[in-house]
Amino acid sequence: MSTASAYAARRARFWATRRHVFQTVGSIGVVFVGVLEAMALLLWVPRQALLLLALVGFPIGLILGVLEVVVFPALVQRLKLHLATLLQGLAHLLLLSVLYGAIMWVAHLLDLPQLWIPPTGKTPGPVQNMLRVFMIYLFGGFVTTLLRQLLLRMDRRRLVQLLAGHYQQPVTEDRIFLFVDLKGSTRLAETLGNDQYSRLVRDFFSDVSVAIEATRGEVYQYVGDEVVVTWPSKLGLAHANCLHCFFKMQHRIEERRGHYMRKYGVVPEFKAGAHGGRVTTVLVGTAHRELVYHGDVLNTTARIQAQCNALGSKFLISASLYQQIGSQPEYHFTLLGSHQLRGKAGATELVDVQEQVSFRPIQAEIVESSWPAGN
């Protein structure tokens, strides 16, 4: 892999977060229009108004998408909860007014006293009209928020597969896993206290989400102070996404050093392990449904991460994953030989991964870090 290819990979990652944001906002816009059209039919809107409603509803849906994906997460993270909630409410009220005005405008274009006239022929009053618009907006907001929450947990392809019942029976997949663990968590919890420690973990997970989205990873689990990230093998190997994710996490936390020092008096440090192979994926549970992975790959990855302290490393990967990734000028690999991992019958070859100084954040990636994680 040449240096030019390495920078091409960085450009691809640079646009990954933006592509995800654009796709999510676009999806919310389309779903909002679908809800608007369905509600319009239920409320006796003339069919000739449906196209106009779609044309005025799509931009409103896009604005709602920007608010949900970009603006509101930033407000919640940076402002006090009551102030963020107040600003969200005002934004929704403003957008509701825009929707009401758009609907009245469509009625005016069609030369109708009101857009919806019940079969009785009785013209609804202003209060009834406003209640109808409020009901449409409330339902549309609920559906689009639900869609966003689903897309936060998995990519669009995985969501479609899940809805189609693809994982009702066990499915074998090739996947890569990255286990990221906060260092010194016991000491931090004792020093900061439960509430402050919980806030630190919350901020940490929020910040590293930027790296996960930029490398198109999926969060499999949050376990205490540990986050487990996964990719389909092809996607995790592309542009060395599974490696870049860890180092982008480091850069993100370093950029937020001032925030952590002011708020907690400490900057979180973390270690990670990565490995890949075949796992079985299945949807489990009845009262609570969850997509889970079974296989030795997860156990091995956890054990690799646990070896970081003993070997004085921040990021370890298996030799088998290193062979699949191949030469990467962005990173320096140190072969550490075979090690006996706890609970494993045979020895596992480990590789320490560090970032080459010459490839540390370029301006494009600094700009990228200002984009929201979407969580």
- Average pLDDT in the chain: 85
Q: Who contacts 15 (Cβ-Cβ below 8 Å, separation ≥6)?
A: none
**Got the DSSP string for 278-345?**
EEEEEEE-SSS-EEEEESHHHHHHHHHHHTHHHHT-SEEEEHHHHHHH---TTEEEEEEEEEE-TT-S
Q: Which neighbouring-strand residues pair with 226?
A: 181, 223
Question: Which residues, in sequence order, are CB contacts of 144 under 8 Å at separation 6+?
Answer: 28, 31, 32, 35, 61, 64, 65, 68
pLDDT greater at residue 28 or residue 350:
350
Single pTM value for the model: 0.73
Say if residue 20's pLDDT is above 80.
no
**Residues of the chain with pLDDT > 90: what percent?**
48
pLDDT at 370 (0 to 100): 39
pLDDT at 330: 86
What is the tens place of the pLDDT at every residue in 313-344?
999 999 999 999 987 888 999 999 998 888 78
**Confidence check: pLDDT of 365 > 70:** no
Name the β-bridge partners of 335: 351
Q: Tell me the domain boundaries of the chain.
A: 3-153, 166-368
| C-alpha to C-alpha distance for 298 and 293, rounded to whole angstroms | 8
Between 326 and 151, the more confident residue is 326
CATH 3.40.50.1000 fits 166-368, yes or no: no
Residue environment code for 43-62, b if the CB has 16+ CB neighbours within 10 A, otherwise e: bebeeebbebbbebbbebbb
What average pLDDT does range 248-263 have in this prediction?
A: 93
CA distance to 26, 57, 106, 211, 343, per residue, from 109 (Å): 27, 15, 5, 48, 72
If pLDDT is split at 50, 70 and 90, which confidence band does 364 have? very low
| Predicted pLDDT of residue 25 | 87
Query: Hey, what are 209's tokens?
Result: 């989400």
